[in-house]
Amino acid sequence: MVDRLVNSEANARRIAMVESCFGSSGQMLAVPGRVLVGEGVLTKMCRKKPKSRQFFLFNDILVYGTILISKKKYSTQHIIPLEEVKLESLDDDGPFRNGWLICTASKSFAVYAATTTEKSEWMAHINKCVEDLLRKSGKKPIDEHAAVWTPDSDATICMHCKKSHFSMLNRRHHCRKCGAVVCGPCSSKKFVLAHQSLKPVRVCLTCYDTLTKRKISEPVFPESKADGTIANGDSSGEDDSDEEANHNGISSTREENTKWKSMEIEAKILPCWSATVC
């Protein structure tokens, strides 16, 4: 399918439409050899709560953004190179069903589809694109991936000391190495995690000890600032400030225009492939 779409006018038109939906805030997506494989809405588990995000799967990248106007306008564009991606299926847990992890070297997070079929289709298409990309480039999969952050709602006390209760004054922080929710004193150390940032980032005391014992020759800053903030920002995720309107959690049903659409050419058109993946 991808090879047939590479130089097609329909593929170029689809990509141009995605670019226009992000506007000037987004990056140029039309590059030689790039194909838009499919798109849809997934529920992304953010730091504070689950939020709807529009996802676009290309043959070499995965793009997602905040939905401002469905099918018309998106913001906060994020681009993930597929050669870094590893997927891991999640077991159903209460309201959180049909989920999987999208893991990369710099960031990892959980997403959820509306149905089991959608989950299967999304994972199959992403894995196929990753396999094809690695085979053509001759590169090997990345061994180390960033930890998935524990949601704030899952931790009422520090996951390190098990004593400090979080409140308006006692803020939550995330260890960039293990993803645990920890208090300020238990995350007073910083360490350079090469795949995440060139600057030292917040880590918990346990991870700090482990990292220093490995004798990694990176600059270490033993204390964070007095106000508890760090140069790389606080524990909020990169898109967690974007509040979705009318989103109250993960829904088992969604409108038709949120479903996965595959951009497969047939009879010189690109019909929507109803494999409900988001």
List, for residues 59-82, the tens digit of each pLDDT value. 999 999 999 998 889 999 999 999
Whose CA is closest to 258, among 119, 52, 32? 52
Distance of CA 226 to the CA centre of its chain: 31
Average pLDDT over residues 2-16: 87
Query: pLDDT band for position 157 (50/70/90)?
Result: very high
The CATH 3.30.40.10 portion of the chain extends over 152-221
2-145+239-262 CATH, one of 3.20.20.60, 2.30.29.30, 3.20.20.30, 3.40.50.10860: 2.30.29.30
The CATH 2.30.29.30 portion of the chain extends over 2-145+239-262
Tokens linked to 121:
């289709």
Query: According to the 3-state scheme, what is the secondary structure of 122-158?
Result: HHHHHHHHHHHHHHHHCCCCCCCCCCECCCHHHCCEC
Which CATH fold would you assign to the domain 152-221?
A: Herpes Virus-1 (3.30.40)
What's the pLDDT at 178?
94
Query: pLDDT band for position 260 (50/70/90)?
Result: low
What's the pLDDT at 263?
59
What are 200-235's pLDDT values in tens digits? 999 999 999 999 988 555 455 544 443 333 433 333
DSSP H stretches of helix in 104-252: 116-137, 205-213
Distance CA 37, CA 39 (A): 7
Q: List CB contacts of 189: < 8 A, sequence separation 6 or more.
A: 202, 203, 204, 205, 208, 220, 221, 222, 223, 224
Distance CA 2, CA 19 (A): 19
